[in-house]
Amino acid sequence: MAARITIAIDDAEINAALARVAAAGLDARALFDDIGASMVVQTQERFLREKDPQYRFWKRHAKSTKRRRGPGAPVLRDRNLLFRSLTHEASRTYARWGTNRKYAAIHQFGGTIERQVSRRIVTSSRRKDGRVLFAKKNTKAKSRVDRLVQVGAHRIVIPARPYLGINDADRAIIAEKVEAHLKAAAEGK
């Protein structure tokens, strides 16, 4: 089971707005569901802009990643698995958003992965121009070759690329959702 990483947001302005909802005796589940869904969208926008919640650009790819994926490849969106896994849940007392991907925390906080010596089968094929390229295992190329290779111990350093959290724009969205919820309750909707 993957460890749960929690980033709690204790914001005085948001807490004051939510206290007004509680003082009005309203069931806040719909409000928190709306907030959670909005924060997922905001988090996805960070992925598209490649910026953290404080509007700073994420660290660019390492040279090895640029060689493998190409110079213009988007950061943290190799196959969009982390991006697509973003979701939210809500109750009467909270909104939560994030992902269940095991590797999510290392991208949020950064870290080092120590790889041990390992053996792998690599598939390659020879192109018409004579170059040998790695290929997918299911390639049907006539020049396909599977080889057992040994990969030495190495270290992979992943820089922090925060995507979870809130910023001033998010606070404004949350405040707008609270006001709309209070107004709808006052109008009896």
The number of distinct structural domains making up the chain is 2
| 5 within some domain | no
| 1 within some domain | no
Cα(63)–Cα(74) distance, integer angstroms: 14
User: What pLDDT sits at residue 24?
Assistant: 84
Q: Which helix (H) or strand (E) holds 49?
A: helix 29-49
pLDDT above 80 (res 4): no
Same domain membership, residue 166 and residue 78? yes
Question: Average model confidence (pLDDT) for the chain?
Answer: 87
| Type of residue found at 166 | I
| 176 within some domain | yes
| 182 within some domain | yes
Same domain membership, residue 132 and residue 72? no
Cα(173)–Cα(51) distance, integer angstroms: 18
pLDDT digits (tens, 9 = 90+) for 116-143: 999 988 887 777 777 766 667 677 767 7
Lowest mean pLDDT among 73-87, 117-131, 148-162, 172-186: 117-131
Confidence tier at 1 by pLDDT (50, 70, 90): very low
pLDDT digits (tens, 9 = 90+) for 33-50: 999 999 999 999 999 999
Same domain membership, residue 125 and residue 146? yes
Tokens in use for 134?
């790695």
Same domain membership, residue 76 and residue 131? no
Same domain membership, residue 64 and residue 139? no
| 17 within some domain | yes
Cα(88)–Cα(71) distance, integer angstroms: 33
User: What pLDDT sits at residue 132?
Assistant: 67
Question: Scanning the structure block, which residue is given the tokens 């959702």?
Answer: 177
Tokens in use for 129?
């121009």
Q: Which domain holds residue 131?
A: 117-152
